[in-house]
Chains A and B, each alone.
Chain A
Amino acid sequence: MAVIRGKKICRFCENKINMINYKDERILKRFTNERGKIIPRRVTGNCAMHQRKLTTAIKRGRVLAIVAFEAESYR
């Protein structure tokens, strides 16, 4: 079942966000799945530059316990 969608636009480019705040839980959570994994840009539609920045932001957020390294419990 193929779903045809329009081209995804990077949400950070759209809103002209150059720096991603690693202390902002909302942004970091939006781009990680339930298990705490970073969602690939093929799913979110981020551009390469922002995905790179987002990745460092999420990793910094993990150090500061703002987002988890791993889901607390699953199944």
Chain B
Amino acid sequence: MRIYETTFIINPQSDDATIEKHVGDIKDIITNTNGKIINENHMGTRRLAYEINKLTQGYYATFLYEAPTEVLPMLDRHFKVNEAYIRDLTVRIECDPEDYLKQQDPFGKHGSERRHDSSGPNRPSRETASDTEDSEKAVEVETVPEDVPTEKTPDEDTQKIDTPSEDKPSDEEL
């Protein structure tokens, strides 16, 4: 038995009941082969970073489970046969699942919440996004210890200097 994490994206155009059914199918496959689901996380409908099959949004769901290796080819086949699944990714977790969940939860929640905020039709550019992030950071420092505002500024300076020089040659090519 090994611990895996499978994340998949479902076409969000179908109604809620069918989406639930597609999620349930995956669950059934895992449990029917003596697998045990440790954690289930529905991230819901999010905007995709790039178009997949002409879709701009997708319904994300994640399972963390312990299962024998035979599950993987079965899941693979299911994902391939059924067109409702846009993307899937299975990752083996080599550490303790409790630790794994603890490490990702606070940031994971923040990530999905922010996604919904900025899910407008026109995505804000990187620079305006970072401006708003800065103002939020001051408030969020305690909840998200990862961003230290004082450290952020020198990093961004070097970024802005670096990128134009990288972009220039490709512009000339065109």
Contact = CB atoms under 8 A, between A and B. Distances in A.
B155 A43 contact: yes
A43 B166 CA distance: 15
Interface residues of B, number: 42
Given A11-B148, A19-B103, A67-B49, A25 B114 contact: yes
Interface of B: 7, 9, 43, 48-50, 52, 58, 60, 62, 87, 89, 91, 95, 99-100, 103-104, 107-108, 110-111, 114-115, 123, 125-127, 145-148, 151, 154-155, 158-159, 162-163, 166-167, 171
12 contacts: A19-B95, A19-B100, A21-B104, A27-B111, A27-B146, A33-B126, A33-B162, A45-B155, A65-B49, A67-B49, A75-B167, A75-B171
Interface of A: 5, 9, 11, 14-15, 17-19, 21-27, 30, 33-35, 37, 39, 43-45, 60, 62-70, 72, 74-75
